[in-house]
Amino acid sequence: MEQNMMLELKSILQAQNQGNLNELIGDLQPFDIAAMVSEVDTEEQLTFFFLVPTSLGAEILEYLEPELQYKILLRMKEQYKSDLLNEMSSDTIVNLLLSVHPNQAKKLMDYLPDDYRLKINTLMNYEPNTAGRLATIDYVGARIHWTVEHTLAHIRKVGHEAEIVSYIYVVDKNGELVGVVSLKDIILAKEGTVLEDIIQGEPISVSVYVHQQEAAAVLSKYDLVAIPVVTHNQRMIGILTVDDLIDVIHEEATEDFQKLGGSQPLTDPYFKNSIWSIYRKRIGWLLILFVAEAYTGTVLRHYEDTLSEQIALAFFVPLLIGTGGNTGSQTVTTLVRAMAVGEVEFKDIFKVFRKEVSTGFFLGLTMGTVALIRAFFLGVDFNVGAVVAISALFIVIWASMVAAVLPMILNKLKVDPAIVSGPFITTLVDGTGLILYFTVAKILLHL
């Protein structure tokens, strides 16, 4: 089916048949059309954008990768290039301009009207991953003394260029944001109502400098579809729309996953990364963890005599430190995520500590018991079994404590708590767990 549609699209484009093209894509969504267009040859792509109306073309172009956007725009006829660029949303243009070489970006910007180019330039100068960089300037503004009829007429005039019109942003003569009105409220308001009377409360906004993740949190807290972005003196520079912020939520969660797995996050989707780039993201932490883990060798050599006398102690080394690592990993992933979504904060540290240590105590009792059973079945000395069981209890409690406290303290120190990954906590518990184990052994076995 899909294969057939692709073949049909290609033959229509080769024949440059506009009627058939409209019929083929008439029932499809821009996203799906974009997926098909990205699969045909460059020549066919140019024909495609030549045949479709500019507004649909711009919408489809927005779903393509910046590299492809540039390749297509570059080869397009001059007039059409400028039309398409002007129909694209400003955040897509910013992303495109930042993805190509500065010289190429400069040439593209010549196709934009002066005031628009100025605004785009401002957005491009904000730091990556901030609200300012992600904002789009394609919103509808209004004045506080306008009536709903006047506002509707204004929306009819400028609305087709706006990314969303669900909210109208009310600014004063200095461009300061003074309120937000939903299109719903405008439609439902009685004739002659002035915007001032239907603005609800202080407008929710974010500063251009806040991190995109924080902006997403504000949007989701207040159940908004877009959020205005303002400078330090409340001047409105644009809006963040929910579709972009959903992408942010996905990206940030993906980054946290990779960090918790013990590697630096990949900046691109998985398959876009070369072996070398994946290697670089992983080797750093592997080496750091190796150095930390190397300490276990020192601990074991220190207890070489104890080990030689009671070689059975060695059998339980992976089991005990593994169990400690598992407990720590459970705690740390739960807490790092709870902090990321704002369920847990630093002020809760004692509450968290009590909860985790209590849970760890009961988990430790259980694991100690099964460790005793395991020792019995492995046929080692009862005393060694007792050492293993008691060590299991201590190691599980210890792992819970470390995994509860460490990410919270790092968060307080403004270090991303997600660096306390599963591997990190596992490594930390390995060396310290061994010391616990051999200390218990020396005391109980009088070695």
In the range 165-194, which residues lie near a copy of itself by CB under 8 A? 165-166, 183-184, 187-188
**What is the C-alpha separation between 329 and 396, in angstroms, rounded?**
11
Rule CB under 8 A: say whether 238 interacts with a copy of itself. no
Interface pick for a copy of itself out of 318, 350, 412, 443 (rule CB under 8 A): 318
Regarding 142 and contact with a copy of itself (CB under 8 A), the answer is: no
What's the CA gap between 317 and 313, in Å, rounded?
7
CB atoms within 10 A of CB 10: 15
198 near 185, Cβ under 8 Å? Answer: yes
Spatial neighbors of 59 by CB under 8 A, at least 6 apart, are: 30
Residue 63 Cβ vs a copy of itself, minimum distance, rounded to whole Å: 9
The amino acid occupying position 445 is: L
User: Which of 66, 141, 175, 322 touches a copy of itself by CB under 8 A?
Assistant: 322
Dihedral angle, C-alpha 165, 168, 173, 177, nearest 10 °: -120
Spatial separation of the C-alpha atoms in residues 357 and 341, rounded to whole Å: 23
- Minimum separation from the CB atom of position 402 to a copy of itself (A): 15
Query: Which lies closer to a copy of itself via its Cβ, residue 78 or residue 191?
Result: 191
Which residue is it, tokens 């899909």?
Answer: 2
Stretch that binds a copy of itself, among 15-23, 103-111, 128-136, 344-352 (CB under 8 A): 344-352
Sheet with strand 206-207: strands edge to edge: 206-207, 226-230, 236-241
How far does CA 120 lie from the centroid of its chain?
A: 24
CB of 334 to a copy of itself, least distance (A): 6
Considering beta carbons, is residue 162 or 177 the nearer one to a copy of itself? Answer: 162
Chosen residue from 92, 130, 329, 391 binding a copy of itself by CB under 8 A? 329
Q: Which residues, numbered 253-272, are part of the site for a copy of itself (CB under 8 A)?
A: 253-254, 256-258, 260-263, 266, 269-271
Q: Does the footprint of a copy of itself cover residue 344 (CB under 8 A)?
A: yes
Q: Tell which residue, 348, 350, 432, 439, has the closest CA to residue 396.
A: 432
Site for a copy of itself in 38-97 (CB under 8 A): none
Least Cβ distance, residue 366 to a copy of itself (angstroms): 6
Between 112 and 164, CB nearer to a copy of itself: 164
